[in-house]
Amino acid sequence: GKSENKFGVDFENILDVYARAAAECQHLELRGLQMHIGSQLTSVEPFVEAVRKVVPLVQEVKARHGIQFFSIGGGIGINYRQSLDSGPESWWQENENLHPLTIQAYADAVTPLLQPLGLRILCEPGRFMVGNAGALITRVLYEKRGAAKIFKIVDAGMNDLIRPTLYEGWHQIVPLKQPATGEVEKADIVGPICETGDFLAQNRELPPVQAGDYLAVLSAGAYGFTMASNYNTRPMPAEVLVDGAKATVVRERQTLDDVLKGERVE
């Protein structure tokens, strides 16, 4: 990470921190060391640079304290902009210069650097595993044609998927109904919440959609439901697990009673 961020321990202080923990915290057993350099990284070079820098330190910590594992953290990015197209394996073979870092390329690059440590190596590929496996399904409520923009108001909002407004995150959005023509129009896809930041996409070219049509906001499997909230007293949607032709509700849709549960006025 960056020195101006709140995370981690300064590199030059690591050995002192471990020494102090070993001397003063007798109920703790020093088992390992973890690093994390960032998020949504789509090339192998930052990982290689970080591992090369940290490996000598890990070797020293191992020699002094007998640690058993080294976690190289997460940060492997996913394909947000070609989420739908990149589903088939053939896409990855045909578009080698477009797709993000693969697990194989990642492993091939860092394994030779890590093997000499003789430690158990952990990694945390959360977004990579679930990001493109999830989609937020939302229904168009109505259209508003403003003086400068077209707005498609949908029933999902920033409380359901906050990445677009919080991180300026880009999510591919596709209509569930196949468009009849190749016509497109530029519009903002916005929710019903009383915030200017309540949008899922801005100035997005999409096939014309009308009230009642459904849209899929793709790549919502990571940092979607886990960052959702009840802002504006909005119950959170259900989560459905799809396995082939089988669909199972794995998290029930909230009710207003669920949202208000635990509140009391005396």
194 is an active site residue: yes
Neighbouring CB atoms inside 10 A of 260's CB total 12
Backbone angles phi, psi at 127, to 5 degrees: -60, -40
3-state secondary structure 68-107: CEEECCCCECCCCCCCCCCCCHHHHHHCCCCCCCCHHHHH
Closest by CA to 163, choosing from 203, 207, 126, 131, is: 131
Neighbouring CB atoms inside 10 A of 219's CB total 28
Sign of the Cα pseudo-torsion (120, 124, 128, 130, in order): positive
**C-alpha angle 197/202/205, rounded to 5°?**
160
Contact 73, 108 (CB under 8 A): no
Rounded (10°) CA dihedral 113, 117, 120, 124: -40
Q: Catalytic residue among 23, 28, 194, 245, which?
A: 194
215 pairs with which residues across the strands? 138, 175
Rounded (10°) CA dihedral 198, 129, 43, 174: -40
Structure tokens at 2: 């960056």
Active-site residue set: 194
